Structure 1
Amino acid sequence: MHEKQKHIYVGVDLHKQHHVAVIINCWQEKLDEIKFENKPSAFSTFLLDIDALTEEGLTPIFGLEDVGGYGRALAQFLTDHGQVVKEVNPALSYAERKSYVTVQKSDSWDAECVARILVRQLSQLPNAKPHDLFWSIQQLVTRRNALVKAQGALKNQLHIQLSHHYPSYKKFFSESCLEGVSIKQLTTFLLEVSHNTCSVKKANEILKLVIEDGNTTKEHQETRDFLVRSIVRDISFKKKEMNYVEGELKQLMSLLDFQLDSMPGIDLVTASALIAEIGDVRRFPNANKLARFAGIAPVYFGSGGKGKEQKSKQGNRALHALFYNLAVQQVQVAKGSKLPRNPVFYAYYQRKLKEGKTKGQALVCIMRRLVNIVYGMMKHQTSVPKRQNRARIVDTVIT
């Protein structure tokens, strides 16, 4: 008996309120269809229904598309009960639907397409391994990203209100707030709120703009003042919430015992974002698999015996962006000192440029080396060596 004949295949189309499962055999013949609610009490009945359909000597294999969203609870339940659960990429089921002459779309057909993919690509599909800790970190990262996005929108609204108030636009305070304020007092305030980036010169410019603008009071000025204060309060609230989220992230990250923040350019936020996208690094046999997952490894395109490797536009784009930003930081020159932040990577970057690569291609080379370093740090839970040894280690990795 062929290995595929030893199983029945259960494709599940996942939704918020309910799920639809279609069961087929290895010859892709439809055996049954089951609709059940998305709650733990219904999962037990669903599993009993599958057992009733499973003939002696056969075992069921489940295929789920969204194991991190609506299907996470079901995936967790099935794995806890010793079932084989495969994660099916939505792109595969989409391509399956489009491969037929007559394209149709329904819950039943979507579930059957997932089951058909199970039959054909059983050995290639990854096992679904829901992990509460990684999932919680992912949710916190998503929450923080939403706060950052909302804060950016609020800042844009604040700039719009300020442009209505003040023709100079660079004025950040009302005249009443700055009346009688000295240059020294304003400079002290600016240094505190800007983390020592604003200078005496900036304080002089602000006071000068206040005087040049003259009287900017308009009709219904109280309403506009209220809007400014309301937006500022909301920005302050978002900032506090962001601190709470980062505090929770710090606690969860300590449970993993990863030391990614020992690497230059990786702080708590970047480390948590990397873990949120990578998840359990053990699901990648080697760094090459992780690089392909992130869309960093080149892809061969060819036909008729001719072709070449090109930059991939596939893969996890969020993870790709994280490695890109990290690579940019490695080759940046520090302000003031004019020295590269990472001399080894900077030299490697310059060497790639001299070889004829574009700046973008050289950055991709650095991204690929960073994947090796991050993969090794996560898999072995190690830190980047101290400064005196760091250059030697990194130079070994990139060469």
Structure 2
Amino acid sequence: MTTTSLTADIVIGLDVGKTHHYAWVIDTQCKCLYKGKINQDQQSLTKLYTKAQRFGDTVMLVVDQPNNIGAFAVEVARQQGLQLGYLTGTRMRHASRLHAGNSKTDPKDAQIIAETAMRMPQSLQPVAHTEDAMQQLSILNGQIEDLIRTRTAYINRIRVTLLVICPILERFFAGKTLSAQWVKALILHYNSPQAIVRAGEKRLTRFLERNCPTVRNKPDKAHNLITAIASQTITMPHTEARWRSVQSYLELITHINDEIQQLQEEAEALAATMPEYQILLSMPGVGPKTAQTIIMCVGDLRDFHTPAELASYAGICPVTRQSGTSIKGEHVNRSGNKRLKNALWYSAFASIKSHERSRTYYQGKRDAGKRHNAAVMCLARRRTNVIFAMLKNHTFYDDHYKATGTIAEHPPQQAAA
């Protein structure tokens, strides 16, 4: 992402906290004008900003966390007309090494933030003001991610419990089999693995026919499941109690899946109102989830001036390392916005199957000796140029752009995510 070009007469370095912050106010000579603890409320923050505005005409607030616990302080500053800057955690750690001592305190962190912002403004990142719809989309996707993590934790807990009850049963439900509808129906209906065996293959098959009519090979599934459970003759203590916990987790997972589905529908309906969303969907390999991720990470690209800056922010371009003659070359970029990087990589991978030009470019990189992942990353970097041009020019994707010299506007096509 581009670094901020903002300059200010007064800088407020704010080390944010849950209940209070610590402020360090300096002028252009890095002279401390004010320092102290500030409560996390509107009155205290407004008083601090008003006091700083008396020292100079242009005041900039710089924080180390612009979201979560620092979001309120940032919004109060925005409402009061202050410039805003963000010093990332990595850059702050590097800057702290230039100061004497190894201690880490709130006053020292606030001082480091303020002095780094004043002396090296190019190290700051802007705190973008996102549109209302984009904020709502970000909130919805944050909820979805939290629910997915919770669901994964429940699934892992089920697997641990099954390993205690019947290890072979856990292996039988490998991968996504545990999430299958027929597996959930059986586990919720019977009160133990032994009860499944006692039911027998015919009764189990009839149960699946009544409750899971779309499942194929029902007799085979019933036979294989009973065979797997019956191969263990030892019954672990408290099996039924552990089995009830498995049933409880499965019921919670079912509710979570319903919530995720509802939130995804809301997010897709909200994203459909954004012009950037429709533009991104017109590109092969970009589906609803990928388009939403790109929008949330980069917005309308107002913070980026070139495709190279966007690629650098995403971490999909190589990093040059050089020192004399001993170290020289291009290396894999391990930094960048991981969510954006994954979205661009997976969309490039999807385009290989559905888009001829992408497939040709990928195959050319493979023929040049690159491995699969590296070739896909090269394709993602090339596609970043196209995405940048589409969003900047507000134009839909056109495969014949080079041939015609123009990008024709046409209805966006749904592509595989």
The TM-score normalised by the length of structure 1 is 0.81
Secondary structure of residue in 1 paired with 2:316: coil
Given residue 271 of structure 1, which amino acid in structure 2 is its aligned partner?
A
What is the distance in 1 between the residues matched to 2:164 and 2:301?
A: 51
Higher relative contact order (CA 8 A, sep 6+): 2
Name the counterpart of 1:199. Answer: 216
What is the distance in 2 between the residues matched to 1:379 and 1:158?
A: 48
Name the counterpart of 1:336. Answer: none
Name the counterpart of 1:93. Answer: 92
What is the distance in 1 between the residues matched to 2:154 and 2:354?
A: 33
* Structure 1 residue 228, shift from structure 2 partner: 2.5
Name the counterpart of 1:80. Answer: 79
Alignment of structure 1 residues 181-192 onto 2, 5 Å: 181=203, 186=208, 192=214
Name the counterpart of 2:328. Answer: 307
Structure-2 change in CA distance of 1:6 and 1:281 (3 Å): closer
Structure 1, unmatched stretches of 5+, are 193-197, 332-339
Secondary structure of residue in 2 paired with 1:315: coil
Query: Is the Cα–Cα contact under 8 Å of residues 330 and 342 in structure 1 kept in the other structure?
Result: yes
Given residue 321 of structure 2, which amino acid in structure 1 is its aligned partner?
F
* Structure 1 residue 234, shift from structure 2 partner: 0.9
Secondary structure of residue in 1 paired with 2:267: helix
Comparing 209-218 with 79-88, which one deviates more in the overlay? 209-218
Comparing 302-311 with 43-52, which one deviates more in the overlay? 302-311
- Equivalent residue for 2:386, pick from 373, 383, 386: 373
Pair 1:268 & 2:281 matched: no
Structure-2 change in CA distance of 1:368 and 1:232 (3 Å): same
Structure-2 change in CA distance of 1:287 and 1:225 (3 Å): same
Structure-2 change in CA distance of 1:264 and 1:119 (3 Å): same
Pair 1:157 & 2:165 matched: no
What is the distance in 1 between the residues matched to 2:363 and 2:375?
A: 8
CA RMSD of aligned residues (A): 3.3
Query: Is the Cα–Cα contact under 8 Å of residues 290 and 343 in structure 2 kept in the other structure?
Result: yes
Given residue 199 of structure 1, which amino acid in structure 2 is its aligned partner?
R
What is the distance in 2 between the residues matched to 1:181 and 1:374?
A: 56
* Structure 1 residue 307, shift from structure 2 partner: 2.3
Structure-2 change in CA distance of 1:50 and 1:179 (3 Å): same
* Structure 1 residue 212, shift from structure 2 partner: 6.3
* Structure 1 residue 191, shift from structure 2 partner: 6.7
Pair 1:351 & 2:351 matched: no
* Structure 1 residue 394, shift from structure 2 partner: 9.6
Name the counterpart of 2:348. Answer: 327
What is the distance in 1 between the residues matched to 2:8 and 2:161?
A: 68
Secondary structure of residue in 1 paired with 2:103: coil
* Structure 1 residue 15, shift from structure 2 partner: 1.1
Query: Is the Cα–Cα contact under 8 Å of residues 268 and 288 in structure 2 kept in the other structure?
Result: yes
* Structure 1 residue 302, shift from structure 2 partner: 1.0
Comparing 85-94 with 288-297, which one deviates more in the overlay? 85-94
Provide Cα deviations, 1:333-375, integer angstroms capped at 9, x if missing partner: xxxxxxx333322221111111122323212211102222333
Secondary structure of residue in 1 paired with 2:320: strand
Alignment of structure 1 residues 161-310 onto 2, 5 Å: 161-166=161-166, 168-169=168-169, 170=172, 172=183, 173=186, 174-175=196-197, 180-181=202-203, 186=208, 192=214, 199-200=216-217, 203-211=219-227, 213-214=229-230, 220-257=238-275, 258-259=277-278, 260-304=280-324, 307-310=328-331
Name the counterpart of 1:29. Answer: 31
Query: Is the Cα–Cα contact under 8 Å of residues 166 and 229 in structure 2 kept in the other structure?
Result: yes
Query: Is the Cα–Cα contact under 8 Å of residues 319 and 333 in structure 2 kept in the other structure?
Result: yes
Structure-2 change in CA distance of 1:126 and 1:160 (3 Å): closer
Provide Cα deviations, 1:111-146, integer angstroms capped at 9, x if missing partner: 111111111222563432232443332232222122
Secondary structure of residue in 1 paired with 2:317: coil
Query: Is the Cα–Cα contact under 8 Å of residues 7 and 121 in structure 2 kept in the other structure?
Result: no
Query: Which consecutive aligned stretches of 4+ in structure 1 deviate over 6 angstroms post-superposition?
Result: 3-6, 215-218, 394-397
What is the distance in 2 between the residues matched to 1:189 and 1:383?
A: 46
Given residue 222 of structure 2, which amino acid in structure 1 is its aligned partner?
I
Name the counterpart of 2:138. Answer: 138
* Structure 1 residue 86, shift from structure 2 partner: 1.7
Secondary structure of residue in 2 paired with 1:36: strand
Name the counterpart of 1:337. Answer: none
* Structure 1 residue 303, shift from structure 2 partner: 2.0
* Structure 1 residue 63, shift from structure 2 partner: 1.4
What is the distance in 1 between the residues matched to 2:368 and 2:241?
A: 61
Comparing 26-35 with 298-307, which one deviates more in the overlay? 298-307
The TM-score normalised by the length of structure 2 is 0.78
Structure-2 change in CA distance of 1:75 and 1:167 (3 Å): closer
Given residue 54 of structure 2, which amino acid in structure 1 is its aligned partner?
A
Residue identity over aligned pairs, in percent, reads 23
Secondary structure of residue in 1 paired with 2:121: coil
What is the distance in 1 between the residues matched to 2:105 and 2:99?
A: 14
Provide Cα deviations, 1:307-326, integer angstroms capped at 9, x if missing partner: 22222222222322222222
Secondary structure of residue in 1 paired with 2:354: coil
Structure-2 change in CA distance of 1:233 and 1:262 (3 Å): farther
